Chain A
């Protein structure tokens, strides 16, 4: 099984996004690196708008992720409510 991953620049907003990912992906592994954070999840990583909004305390458009993103791995599917990265293997 391969890992899907996502990396963000470290800042206040991405801290909330990472908290949301950890809540919604119980198998998530956090790799804390200088000025960036990388999160690996076996096979499928999902970011849910609702959870991010809860953590960040305001409404959130998943396209805002683009501001903090560094890199991703996996096939992406983005809707208004979920940003999903997955491997078919």
Chain B
């Protein structure tokens, strides 16, 4: 395809004419009445024209490159599906990482699309409005391509078809949902820090880069093309988030403490959301390229560190949580996997004990923690399973009021002690998983008391399938959680003995013999 743009004007002139020059200030109505949301957070802006879009992307170029990305993506998807690509992944355990990744991410992409559509309306300046509108369209594209990617797998494997229903109900999807709910109900500038900085800069760099590179290594062309195609947009999104932070800091010195608090808060919220991505990399990819710890060092410690050092000229300091995130990088992936392993009847994907070789890989990658704290637990579970006593925790978890993660993280400096914090608000006690979540709660308790936590709501009769009479004398809360979640029974339990395991083996056999 000939990609040449007819060059009548330079990039800068073209961007200025086709973006800034098409905007106007309102005269029939006051600007502050048309854009009422950009002042109440306390951020002071004096000149919206100072906002930079360093990609200088105009709408015509945007459509041209995005359509080319789509053509490439769908060509790969079609080729993969037509060639029975699902049977070329390393082993059937791999499919479970897709159930988690592609079952949890599309609804978040949709939330991002809604959020950036709102930003595209609310921002006063033409520069951010256009960039936010493009990002909204990008996010909608990711939402669609991810669903198209999973649809082929859904024809063959269990547990993928109810992700939209489960998004607002499923216990382990609550952390992502609450991340976006928190962001989208904040003001526009906080949303930009939450998604543009924390989600794009911290989270997607791990999820869509080393994890997707790992998916490719495991033979999954479908997830690879979707992941990399999405991430090619994320480079623009990160730039938008970073520009927004710089813009706020350059516009008025009074903005610094507000921006600092948001950076502290959202760095931590992003970190908590990453715990499950860590487990996807360390436990769920049969063939591994790098550990979560290594990815964390490359994309968060070094890359995030570079950003914080750079922002120091405006007075920004490294987020308070940063040292704790560095300590936790050696723990969270193991804690997450063990947490999920213990709930075989409560997720639409399977879990398993790593093979001896895989445990050795974990020992090598986590020399300070794996053998000491986590191998013994996994070996104990393994022995129990072999003795016919597969671990199955039937109790409801306790969740953090802010990040809604299940309580499973350790006390800083003491891996043997679980971390709990509590705050009292209007005479009621609320629990958080860490000092940083507690600080977020204490700063805006009126917001976080509203968090929907299914393990609490179930006790009030709010988590029942249609038709259950919660006032019946014999009603027992939570008796039909599978019905409430619409969990496919075939998707439950250990990987060993699952229908997916049997089918994959049989189909692979058929694919290689007559």
Chain A residues packing against B (C-beta within 8 Å):
2-3, 5, 7, 9, 33-36, 59, 61, 63-64, 66-80, 87-89
Of the residues B7, B56, B72, B306, contact of A73 by C-beta under 8 Å? B306
- Show 26 residue pairs from A and B whose CB-CB distance is below 8 angstroms, ordered by the A residue: A5-B303, A9-B232, A33-B210, A33-B290, A34-B216, A34-B217, A34-B289, A35-B213, A35-B217, A35-B228, A36-B216, A63-B55, A63-B57, A67-B65, A69-B231, A70-B228, A70-B231, A71-B205, A71-B238, A73-B306, A77-B54, A79-B10, A79-B12, A80-B10, A88-B313, A89-B309
Q: Which residues of B are found within 8 Å of A80, using beta-carbon distances?
A: 7, 10-11
Q: Are B54 and A72 in contact (CB under 8 A)?
A: no
Interface membership of B242, Cβ < 8 A:
yes
* Inter-subunit contact B306/A9 (CB<8 Å): no
Chain B, interface SS category: helix
Given A34-B289, A70-B208, A79-B10, CB of A3 within 8 Å of CB of B232: no
**Cβ contacts under 8 Å, A74 to chain B:** 306
Most B Cβ at <10 Å: residue of A2, A64, A66: A66
Interface residue count on the B side (C-beta < 8 Å): 45
B184 at the interface (CB under 8 A from A): no
Say yes or no: B228 contacts A36, CB within 8 Å. Answer: yes
Cβ–Cβ contact B232 & A66, under 8 A: yes
Given contacts A71-B231, A89-B312, contact A36 B306 (CB under 8 A): no
Additional 7 contacts, C-beta under 8 A, given A68-B232, A72-B239, A87-B309:
A3-B302, A5-B303, A35-B213, A35-B217, A71-B205, A71-B231, A78-B11
* A67 engages B232 (CB within 8 Å): yes
Minimum CB–CB distance from B85 to chain A (whole Å) comes to: 14
Chain A nearest CB from B250 CB (Å) reads 13
Question: Which chain B residues lie closer than 8 Å to A34 at the CB level?
Answer: 213-214, 216-217, 289
Q: How far apart sit A89 and B234, CA to CA, in the bound complex (Å)?
A: 24
Shortest CB distance B330–A (Å): 22
Q: Please report the C-alpha to C-alpha distance between residue A2 and residue B305 in the assembled complex, in whole angstroms.
A: 8
Q: Are A76 and B209 in contact (CB under 8 A)?
A: no
In the docked arrangement, what's the CA distance between A78 and B55, Å? 6
For A31, the closest partner residue in chain B by CB is: B298
User: What are the residues of chain B within 8 A of A5 when measuring CB–CB?
Assistant: 303
B:222-252 near A, CB below 8 Å: 224, 228, 231-232, 234-236, 238-239, 242
Q: Does B61 contact A (CB under 8 A)?
A: yes
CA distance A1 to B283 in the complex (A): 34
Chain A residues contacting B303 (CB-CB under 8 Å) are: 5, 73
* CB <8 Å contact, A69 and B3: no
> With contacts A76-B239, A80-B10, A88-B313 known, is A33 near B55, CB below 8 A?
no
Residues of B within 8 A of A36 (CB): 209, 213, 216, 228
B55 contact set on A, CB distance < 8 A:
63, 66, 76, 78
Min C-beta distance of A57 to chain B, whole Å: 14
